[in-house]
Amino acid sequence: MQQLDQSFLVTGKIGKLMCRYALPCIISLLVGALYNIVDQIFIANASYLGSFGNAANTVVYPLTVIALAIAVMIGDGCCAFVSLSLGKGKEKDAGQSIGLSVLLTVLSSVFLCAVYLIFSDAIITMFGGTVNEETFAFSKEYFFYISLGIPFYMFGQAMNPVIRADGSPKFAMASTLLGAALNIILDPIFIFCFKWGMTGAAVATVIGQVATALLALWYLLHTKTVKLSKKDFRWNGRIVGRTLSLGICSFLSQISLVAAMAVINNMIRKYGALDEIFGQAVYAQIPMAVVGIVMKFFQIVISIVIGMAAGCIPVVGYNMGANRQERVRKLFSLLLACEGAVGCAALLVVELLPRQLIAIFGSANESVYYTDFAVKSFRIYLCMIVFACLNKATFIFLQAMGKAVASTALSMIREIVFGVGFALVLPLFFGLDGVLYSMPVSDLLTAIVSASIIAVTYRQLSECRSSSACDTGRFAPEEGDGGLRQTS
């Protein structure tokens, strides 16, 4: 197996390395986020779909995140494992991780597609699709075609970080760009020209996902750093376990977000029905449509945040494998500073320009209640977005370092303990507004917990800088189990 020289990862300037790897990753994730966002923009501006279509899009969105959760668990885990393996000179393990990741992605995506198609009505109901008849009908229509594209979507998303780990971040970015470009071109044609409605939006999305998946498949046949062979696709429980353990944080982060979104959607449906305005059938879909739009803006911001952090995974993994912890510490400091700046910029936008944001999503075609609730939602729901950015960066960076336990624990605290907990409790006291308060309260409390983890991580990296104990110390891979171990 041939390995290209990646020694520049331990000798190059930290800032330049971050730009080289993070920028393509940011663009890839932003473009990936555009799939659902572009659908929602065109749906919102189609008078025959409007807020009903928007609400349907919000219902289906968490179901695509489930597919993404499985894909990023495999892809991010493989990316981290490959980087760590190459840093230690274990090219054979890197190749097997990629081969088995392909196999896992194909099997899991076909299974999930089948589950979605068989249990579509029950699943849509579970995620709040019964807010009214129109929303349910649109949700079912959109969900059917999105489900058919799940295998292509998961394959493209899982292979994207693998391609980055192989040393081709620009190709990973280009493959996602092509898919999103097709979606942007086809959406208005199918929705406005052909009048295909929710079917048109879904079909345009799937066509883009197929294009991205085909490019990923082509790349796997032409890898440059890790050359694949048939033996790499043979089952190896040790490699699978270690790969998935490194990706479990990504999975839990996404899947716990699904749990939070399911609770939020159902709380919106329940307490919206008790509201004086939104309890009326003609306005019942507005809160769900609006909160979905606010989440989509948050998705754009968080794509930048995750792109910065995930783009650093190959650099962090390689330097950890090469015992260059002082460089990891510098990269962590730079990352946190950049993430904080992104959060501050986003905060200014949501607090100062909420009406301009909601106008993009067809507010001109809706009632004044739609705009007023959207303005309030943007300003309350995202008022702690700076902390949300710093939290997400911390989760991913710890994962890249091999600190899977700390990363997973923080992610679960944010999404399950705080995210789900406050979404259930706060509406009891504040009604529909309680759903909006759940987000900032969760982010603030998570930031307090994250601060202590960050302090410990800095201290450990500083100790490693002045000691050779890190060769077999707290960050060392555990050969006998399925993951990376943290020792005290």
State pLDDT tens for residues 129-142. Answer: 988 889 999 999 99
Band of residue 383 on the pLDDT scale cut at 50, 70, 90: very high
Residue 478 has what pLDDT? 39
Report yes or no on 478 lying in a domain: no
Tell me what percent of the residues of the chain surpass a pLDDT of 70.
93
Report yes or no on 30 lying in a domain: yes
Determine the structural domain holding residue 429 and report its residue range.
Answer: 14-471
What are the two backbone dihedrals, phi and then psi, of residue 467, each rounded to the nearest 5 degrees?
-145, 150
Residue 16 in this model has a pLDDT that exceeds 90: no
Cβ proximity of 81 and 93 under 8 Å: yes
Report yes or no on 131 lying in a domain: yes
Q: Which of residues 123 and 481 earns the better pLDDT score?
A: 123
Residue 7 has what pLDDT? 66
Q: Which of residues 126 and 33 earns the better pLDDT score?
A: 126
pLDDT mean over 274-294: 91
Q: Which long-range contacts (CB under 8 A, 24 or more apart) does 465-474 make?
A: 465/325, 465/326, 465/329, 468/323, 470/323, 470/325, 471/323
In whole angstroms, what is the distance from residue 183 CA to residue 206 CA?
8
Lowest mean pLDDT among 6-10, 219-223, 405-409: 6-10
Three-class SS state of 472: coil
- Summarised one tens digit per residue, pLDDT across range 316-326 is 878 877 788 88
First to last CA, the chain: 36
Band of residue 477 on the pLDDT scale cut at 50, 70, 90: very low
Mean pLDDT, the chain, rounded, equals 86
Residue 166 has what pLDDT? 85
pLDDT mean over 312-340: 85
Band of residue 474 on the pLDDT scale cut at 50, 70, 90: very low
In whole angstroms, what is the distance from residue 205 CA to residue 199 CA?
10
Number of compact structural domains in the chain: 1
SS3 content of the chain, % helix, strand, coil (to 5): 80, 0, 15
In whole angstroms, what is the distance from residue 190 CA to residue 185 CA?
9
Cβ proximity of 407 and 449 under 8 Å: no
Q: Which long-range contacts (CB under 8 A, 24 or more apart) does 168-171 make?
A: 168/219, 168/224, 169/20, 169/21, 169/24, 169/25, 169/311, 170/24, 171/215, 171/219
Report yes or no on 485 lying in a domain: no
Token pair of 99, please?
């081969």
Residue 285 in this model has a pLDDT that exceeds 80: yes
The DSSP 8-state label assigned to residue 190 in this structure reads I
Three-class SS state of 339: helix
pLDDT mean over 184-191: 95
Residue 62 in this model has a pLDDT that exceeds 70: yes
Q: Which of 208, 237, 358 lies closest to 291 in space, CA to CA?
A: 358
DSSP secondary structure of 285-332: THHHHHHHHHHHHHHHHHHHHHHHHHHTHHHHHHHHHTT-HHHHHHHH
Report yes or no on 479 lying in a domain: no
pLDDT mean over 163-175: 86
Cβ proximity of 338 and 59 under 8 Å: no
Tell me what percent of the residues of the chain surpass a pLDDT of 90.
50
Lowest mean pLDDT among 179-183, 404-408, 446-450: 404-408
The tokens 């970080």 sit on which residue? 161
Residues 6 or more apart whose CB falls under 8 angstroms from that of 42 comprise 187, 188, 191, 192, 201
From residue 420, alpha-carbon distances to 121, 127, 435 in Å are 24, 14, 10
Report yes or no on 204 lying in a domain: yes
195: left (phi over 0), alpha (psi -120 to 50) or beta: left
In whole angstroms, what is the distance from residue 415 CA to residue 435 CA?
14
The three-point CA angle 345-361-278 to 5° equals: 105
pTM for the whole structure: 0.76
Per-residue b or e along 228-264, where b marks 16 or more CB atoms closer than 10 Å to that residue's CB: beeebbeebeebbebbbbbbbbbbbbbbbbbebbbbb
Q: Which of 218, 248, 234, 251 lies closest to 97 in space, CA to CA?
A: 234
pLDDT mean over 452-478: 64
In whole angstroms, what is the distance from residue 291 CA to residue 381 CA?
9
Which range among 76-90, 215-229, 405-419, 423-437 has the greatest average pLDDT?
423-437
Report yes or no on 342 lying in a domain: yes
Report yes or no on 146 lying in a domain: yes
